[in-house]
Chain A
Amino acid sequence: MQRYSALSIFHRGLSGHESWRPQWRRAAPKAAYDAVIVGGGGHGLGTAYYLASVHGLTNIAVLEKGWVGGGNTGRNTTIIRSNYLFDESAALYNHALKLWEDLSQVLNYNVMYSARGVMMLAHNVHDVQVAKRHIHANRCNGVDNEWLTPEQAKEFCPPLNISDNIRYPVLGAALQRRGGTARHDAVAWGYARAADALGVDIIENCEVTGFRKDAHGAIEAVETSRGLITTRKVGVVAAGNTSAVMRLADVRLPLESFPLQALVSEPVKPAFPCVVMSNTIHAYISQSDKGELVIGAGTDAYTSYTQRGGLHINTHTLDAICELFPMFRRMQMLRNWGGIVDVTPDRSPIIAKTPVKGLYVNCGWGTGGFKATPGSAHVFAHTIANDEPHPINAPFNIERFRDGFLIDEAAAAAVAH
């Protein structure tokens, strides 16, 4: 692996930048691997990286039906936070947040993690009570979160309209200062490059078409569009397509796939200092380092695999943005898109073993998986390597839906579902 540094940029600049090599090999599938990861997004590539770096499993492959980071990793609004209500969620998302802090150094790849603060607005008495309950629960779990008055919120985010004659006036806000954003593509690419350097094969344009099981029902091979691959361990991290992939192994999961849209504006100079989210009026916004306002909201109403949704969802979101931030009223939107998110009944993910031996699944991240990428990948790698969950992801099993131990995380997205 070529190490990246300021010195290397200078050094290679002297030779016209012609000595840079591709960040990972274009690997062809081998006949057999010790483990196979299905899905080349951030969570899947991260899982492969931690399998190789923490657990010493280097004879492994990541199979991606399209291109690396082309699914929800490349389609989300890049928000990072860990201010979840329940103990199980706080442990999982805070684990991820701690890994974000030095991820650029660990991967030798600038993922542009920026702890610019995530501020969640309260617009009515119920919002205020919910936000304060979250703040207290978070502080008990060692997660930073603090209450701001409307004036303090405006001080932290000057474009915010705290006038009391708007339809949903701002009554206060919960601020997680360690929250922020990161560059989504760089997360996928950084994990891909680091995993590749440890010997992991990253195989793009390779779709899984079936699973083969031995006489005892355990996984023994994966059928793909590029041939049969023998392996005893398969980790499925296929986001919105998880139901379809797992159906090939006759495993059913409590998931439904919905389109989730986002949009960006034309790029402008730095104007927006933090991330602002509003559950009640359905919007969240930040400004990327490229200058675009990155805006998102809730899912479309119906299940779908089309990676697009209705324009009225975006219009509704922009109504809210324009009222909260009047200075953006004449901004032009550049493009919008959709991703397919797999949603569980309790809005918490499933990171677990399955009834099929050797088959593991990491899914159900719904509308908020990006923030968890490093933590999710880290504990999922542990689960695959040891055939036992890490203490952090043990509660996020499939059986909780049968046994009634739901992790009913209404805060999973910052917008109401």
Chain B
Amino acid sequence: MLQIQCPYCGVRPESEFAYGGEAHIARPTDPSTLNDDQWAEFLYMRTNTKGVHAERWRHARGCNRFFNALRDTTSDRFLAFYRTGEPRPVLAGGKP
């Protein structure tokens, strides 16, 4: 089970959290101006990164707040946790 650090509550087991999918995907402000390709891009296209992945988690059985994390999907090791609205951290070594 993953150990996840909620920025508000601290480190807790994965069973307290709900996964929220890829982070930094903003809903278009005016969907009616989008064509089908752009709408499909927003709805369905994800990076599915093999490497460092920015993702949302929600502390569903705790403070119930969303936050973001960087995780290496080839090792499941978390590299950073940060609050919603904060920019994606730049990791040491220059990895995005």
Contact = CB atoms under 8 A, between A and B. Distances in A.
A312 B15 contact: yes
A306 B73 contact: yes
Contacts of A255: 46, 48
B86 interface: no
Nearest to B48: A243
Interface in A265-311: 301-306, 308, 310-311
Given A241-B50, A305-B74, A345 B15 contact: no
Interface in B48-92: 48-50, 53, 55, 71, 73-76
A303 B48 contact: yes
Nearest to B18: A301
A401 B36 CA distance: 9
A254 B46 contact: yes
Contacts of B45: 252, 254
Contact of B44 (A243, A304, A401): A401
B12 to A, nearest CB: 13
Interface string A306-339: 1010111000000000000000000000000000
B37 A303 contact: no
A345 B44 CA distance: 7
Nearest to B4: A302
Interface in B11-58: 14-15, 18-19, 22, 36-37, 40, 43-46, 48-50, 53, 55
A392 B64 CA distance: 45
Contacts of B73: 257, 303-306
A310 B74 CA distance: 15
A346 to B, nearest CB: 9
Contacts of B19: 301-302
A403 interface: yes
B55 A303 contact: yes
A241 B73 CA distance: 12
A54 interface: no
Q: How large is the interface on A (under 10, 10 to 19, 20 to 34, 35 or more residues)?
A: 20 to 34
A256 B48 contact: yes
Given A254-B45, A301-B18, A401-B40, A306 B74 contact: yes
Contacts of B18: 301
B9 interface: no
Nearest to A244: B50
Contacts of A304: 73, 76
Given A243-B50, A301-B19, A306 B76 contact: yes
A342 B36 CA distance: 24
Nearest to A404: B36
B6 to A, nearest CB: 15
Contacts of A254: 40, 44-46
A16 B15 CA distance: 56
Contacts of A402: 36-37, 40
B44 to A, nearest CB: 4
Contact of A303 (B36, B40, B53): B53
Contacts of B1: 310-312
Nearest to A302: B19
Contact of A310 (B2, B37, B49): B2
B84 to A, nearest CB: 17
B71 to A, nearest CB: 7
Contacts of B48: 243, 255-257, 303, 342
Contacts of A345: 43-44
B59 to A, nearest CB: 14
B58 to A, nearest CB: 11
B15 to A, nearest CB: 6
20 contacts: A243-B48, A243-B50, A244-B50, A254-B40, A254-B46, A255-B48, A301-B14, A301-B18, A302-B71, A303-B48, A303-B49, A303-B53, A305-B74, A306-B73, A310-B14, A312-B15, A345-B43, A401-B40, A402-B40, A403-B36
Given A256-B46, A301-B18, 14 more contacts: A255-B46, A257-B73, A302-B55, A303-B48, A303-B49, A303-B53, A303-B73, A305-B74, A306-B74, A306-B76, A312-B15, A342-B48, A402-B37, A403-B36
A-B CB proximity, top 3 nearest: A254-B44, A301-B19, A243-B48
Interface of A: 241, 243-244, 252, 254-257, 301-306, 308, 310-312, 342, 345, 401-404
